[in-house]
Structure 1
Amino acid sequence: MDRRTFLKSAVAAGVVGPVVGASYGLYEAGAVVVERPEVVVPRLPAAFDGLRVAFLADIHHGPYVDLDHVTAVVRTTLALQPDVVVLGGDYSTREARYIGPCFEVLTGLKAPLGVFGVLGNHDYWHGIAESHAGFRSSRIMELTNAGVWLERGSHRLRLAGVDDLWCGKTHLESALGDAHADDACVVVSHNPDFAEKLRDDRVGLILSGHTHGGQLYVPGFGAPIVPSRYGQKYLKGLVQAPATQVYVSRGLGTVTAPMRFRSPPELTLLTLRSA
């Protein structure tokens, strides 16, 4: 290869490379992956062994995430036939006008044991009143510092939720209610940093989102930006916190830029197992 040909090739690569990279990032942002982790939950009754929990976090309907994407997520969730559906917060981005339409689509979610959700920081930033109204209109049960008992025969499992760590006021005691030391408890917290200072032995598992898996992930380096005080620790997947375990979803939408790299959007179908 002569010098002129080399320079032409270098210029072409300099132009085409970023375009291809951006195109891939846009593609990956819409390519939802269904993750199917199995998680052992302490004290989980045998009656709940095999419970299938669909966990949807960080939908972020807005300029970058249209309603077709949200609708596809709902259809995929229904096809998975979960026993219960849990929403992890951050339903919209940028403006309050996106909140109502998102919840209207989410009304299509159904599960034998119910559909539940918590709030995230973007729900506060872009319209907390509209977010509360979205829960009411969709008949999705909001678990802001509250909880419910899921029952199978004479056995029960506590599903609880706490307020957003950044913008709300978390109150775990209210969420756990009358749960005893021998009860199995699953807590939903939008922000996984909540787990770092938790010291309640009743909590066997926390479900979180918020970090988007970094949204952009560089193998061998990690994610350049992680919205957590603890660096890469709560980036994604099953993480051991000081007193419990946390499953961190990569989320379904995007913020800041409508792209992902090596961190595809995630719809999680957890299977809970008794010890």
Structure 2
Amino acid sequence: MYFKMMKRLNLLAGYLVVLCVLLSSCATASFSKYKGVGRVKRYDFYSAQLPDSFDGFRVAFASDFHYESRFTACRLPGMCQALRSLDADVLLLGGDYRGRNGGDVTQLFQALKTVETPCGTYAVMGNHERGQADSLARKAMQATGVHLLEHEVDTLWRGKEYILLCGIRNPFDLKRNGVSPTLALREEDFVLMLVHTPDYVEDVNVSHTDLALAGHTHGGQVSLFRRWTPAHFSKYGNRFLTGLKYNSAGIPVIITNGLGTSRKDVRLFTPSEVVLVVLHKKK
């Protein structure tokens, strides 16, 4: 009896291993035509604050490259093709450019330079930009014309109308950066915030922000139904895991799964992605 039971348990374990492999293969498969990019995720965002001339303005957003982790050199062409396909008016980069085991960020930013937009490319730093990784990223940005925003606000113009783009410096250091630059802005202006972690929009008063874009969570890398994950990239658990969420004040934040991986080079039910946000004037 004992041996029969053990045989059945071993057989069941074998079936479970096969099932997990099959699920993993399906869950990490790319459903986009761009190698290395699991999907292109589109959001349509409506706001009465948006100037008329910015109706239809297209924002491309990519984050958490961790180059090279799972996101290797062979995936750079696919990323660039995906970003160019968005026909964006501006490209925003959300931080974490270099992998934990190193990576040529100059090569990464040279590739991103081929994604040309009318308003250029803007970036913030992530938590992995420390020491050498920080200095290498800054040097690569300067060489490729990327505008680094560190607790700064820039103006994007269309004719005589404009929107404001606010970039947050190290959102984990609230002692130094716990006052949002948006507090000095006008309520009637349309303000787009770029920040590495979505926690910042909950930790800090970000009044006058109309929409925030963030990364950092990787969608959990491994998740079930976009609600549960064993990894914890946020102090708020899975509240800001991925997708369109809102802080306690009702301010919307879009969180991307990003492109690379951290800790473990695996994704399960959390496809890598680039994001397109299309702004619309709310009538």
**How does the TM-score come out when normalised to structure 1?**
0.88
Kindly state the Cα deviation for residue 100 of structure 1 after the two structures are TM-superposed: 2.1
Kindly state the Cα deviation for residue 183 of structure 1 after the two structures are TM-superposed: 0.8
AA at the equivalent of 2:262:
V
Q: Is the 8 A contact 1:52 1:269 kept in 2?
A: yes
What RMSD in Å do the two structures reach over aligned CA positions?
Answer: 2.6
> In structure 2, do the counterparts of structure 1 residues 119 and 207 end up closer, same or farther at CA, with 3 Å as the change threshold?
same
Structure-1 residue corresponding to 2:76: 70
Q: Is the 8 A contact 1:92 1:98 kept in 2?
A: yes
Distance (whole Å) between structure 1 residues aligned to residue 14 and residue 184 of structure 2: 66
> In structure 2, do the counterparts of structure 1 residues 182 and 220 end up closer, same or farther at CA, with 3 Å as the change threshold?
closer
Structure-2 residue corresponding to 1:218: 224
AA at the equivalent of 2:107:
P
Question: Where in structure 1 are there 5+ consecutive unaligned residues?
Answer: none
Structure-2 residue corresponding to 1:263: 270
Q: Which moved more, 1:242-251 or 1:24-33?
A: 24-33
1:12-56 Cα deviation digits (max 9, x unpaired): 425534544554566459452111111124511111111110000
Structure-2 residue corresponding to 1:10: 12
Distance (whole Å) between structure 2 residues aligned to residue 180 and residue 89 of structure 1: 27
Structure-2 residue corresponding to 1:239: 245
AA at the equivalent of 1:259:
V
Whichever structure has more helix as a proportion of its residues is: 1
Residue 192, structure 1, aligned to residue 198, structure 2: yes
> In structure 2, do the counterparts of structure 1 residues 26 and 33 end up closer, same or farther at CA, with 3 Å as the change threshold?
closer
1:181 is matched with which residue: 160, 182, 187? 187
Structure-1 residue corresponding to 2:95: 89
Q: Is the 8 A contact 1:56 1:88 kept in 2?
A: yes
Structure-2 residue corresponding to 1:32: 38
Distance (whole Å) between structure 2 residues aligned to residue 65 and residue 152 of structure 1: 35
Residue 100, structure 1, aligned to residue 103, structure 2: no
Residue 146, structure 1, aligned to residue 152, structure 2: yes
Structure-1 residue corresponding to 2:261: 254
Q: Is the 8 A contact 1:145 1:171 kept in 2?
A: no
Structure-2 residue corresponding to 1:207: 213
> In structure 2, do the counterparts of structure 1 residues 199 and 12 end up closer, same or farther at CA, with 3 Å as the change threshold?
closer
Residue 158, structure 1, aligned to residue 158, structure 2: no
Q: Is the 8 A contact 2:178 2:204 kept in 1?
A: no
Kindly state the Cα deviation for residue 86 of structure 1 after the two structures are TM-superposed: 0.5
Q: Is the 8 A contact 2:94 2:215 kept in 1?
A: yes
2:51 is matched with which residue: 30, 45, 56? 45
Q: Is the 8 A contact 2:226 2:241 kept in 1?
A: no
Distance (whole Å) between structure 1 residues aligned to residue 87 and residue 73 of structure 2: 22
1:170 is matched with which residue: 166, 169, 177? 177
Q: Is the 8 A contact 1:92 1:126 kept in 2?
A: no
Name the % identity: 27
Kindly state the Cα deviation for residue 8 of structure 1 after the two structures are TM-superposed: 7.3
AA at the equivalent of 2:223:
Y
User: SS of the counterpart of 1:123?
Assistant: coil
AA at the equivalent of 1:81:
D
Kindly state the Cα deviation for residue 108 of structure 1 after the two structures are TM-superposed: 1.3
Q: How many residues align?
A: 272
> In structure 2, do the counterparts of structure 1 residues 125 and 192 end up closer, same or farther at CA, with 3 Å as the change threshold?
farther
Question: Where in structure 2 are there 5+ consecutive unaligned residues?
Answer: none
> In structure 2, do the counterparts of structure 1 residues 216 and 106 end up closer, same or farther at CA, with 3 Å as the change threshold?
same
User: SS of the counterpart of 2:199?
Assistant: helix
Distance (whole Å) between structure 1 residues aligned to residue 54 and residue 141 of structure 2: 27
Q: Which moved more, 1:103-112 or 1:89-98?
A: 89-98
Kindly state the Cα deviation for residue 200 of structure 1 after the two structures are TM-superposed: 3.9
Q: Is the 8 A contact 1:188 1:208 kept in 2?
A: yes
AA at the equivalent of 1:90:
D
Kindly state the Cα deviation for residue 64 of structure 1 after the two structures are TM-superposed: 2.3
Q: Is the 8 A contact 1:45 1:155 kept in 2?
A: yes
